[in-house]
Amino acid sequence: MGTPVVQNIFHHFHQQWEPVLLHGGSPGCPKPSEYVQGLIGVVLLALNTLKSEQVMPTEENIADCIRYGDPKHRNTDIKKALESAVEHKMVATKSLGAMQLYVGKNKKLWKWVNLVGGHAKTIPKETWDEIHKFLKSPAGRSAILASECRYEAGTILKSKCLKELSLGDVLKILNMVICYKKWIIPHQSGWRPLSITLAKKANIITTAEKANIITTAEKANIITLAEQVNSITLAEKANSDSGSTEGAFGWDSGSEGAFGWDSGSKEGTFGDSGSTEGTFGDSGSTEGTFGWDIACL
């Protein structure tokens, strides 16, 4: 950790560092080396950032804040930095159930955004449109696909299209993008490789719409055919009741129709009203195969 970095830390956190500089560290602790001072300063900077961005100060968030904040701190030994900050009493730990949180010396925990829950309808349509536009763009898509974790993806969204929101709010919206909108799908084994599903989703919708149109057309065609069949059936019935002497199927009590259904015929091709064992049955049949009873017409 170079001297310029340490000087920058002193500039931002003079009050926190003053006891260390003047008295050689906290009681019982030797004055930390310049390198350790730099590590502690990086942790304090991260905590200050998380507070302003309304993000919970977990070890994971502190680490992500350091790695994906200032590029020159990306290779910081996070574990050693936190241990040093706690050892020299510049950072205190707080317990929240089974979770361990970190806060600066003599500081209280701040209010952070709850990333779980919430409803997508509470987010303005304009915000969703901005996110959709960004993810659809080549630059936005590439940036998100290259992100190494959810936190970094959140910082990208914030810097590119949600600048007016705190990082905590952006991370909450990102959670909705993943769980509700399903525009971004992390890999089961972790964050990467990612899938962005905007184009695929659009294709699925289009296919579904086309299928619906086809189904509707088929239904309409089936209905039309049914109506046509119904019309023919009605026409046949009308013809049978009209007293025509030459009906299509010869249903005329006074004539010999094509199939010989004549109530006066004794030897109709398929049986008659006087037959007791007509092939297809008639009004007098007791065991006709289809049982066409003139009384049903």
Quickly state the pLDDT bin for 82 (edges 50, 70, 90). Answer: very high
Q: Is 50 exceeded by the pLDDT of residue 136?
A: yes
pLDDT: which is higher, 62 or 26? 62
Q: What's the confidence (pLDDT) of residue 193?
A: 93
Domain residue spans of the chain:
3-104, 120-196, 214-296
The confidence band for 234, taking pLDDT boundaries of 50, 70 and 90, is low
Q: How many CA atoms lie within 13 A of 50 on its CB side?
A: 28
Q: How far apart are CA 57 and CA 102, in angstroms?
A: 6
Q: DSSP strand E in the chain: where? A: 91-96, 99-104, 184-185, 195-196
The Cα–Cα gap between 5 and 73 comes to 10
* Mean pLDDT, residues 11-33: 57
Mean pLDDT for the chain?
74
Q: Quick one: pLDDT band at residue 232, thresholds 50, 70, 90?
A: low
pLDDT at 297 over 90: no
Q: Which residues does 196 contact at the CB level (< 8 Å), separation at least 6?
A: 135, 141, 144, 145, 183, 184, 185
- Candidates 264, 269, 271, 274; CA nearest to 289 is 271
Q: Among the listed ranges 10-19, 22-31, 68-77, 130-139, which one has the minimum average pLDDT value?
A: 10-19
Q: What is the pLDDT of residue 7?
A: 46
Rounded to an integer, what distance in angstroms lies between the CA atom of residue 214 and that of residue 216?
5
Best-predicted range by mean pLDDT (6-10, 213-217, 241-245)? 213-217
The whole-model pTM stands at: 0.61
pLDDT tens figures, 142-170: 999 999 999 999 999 999 999 999 999 99
Give me the count of residues in the chain.
297
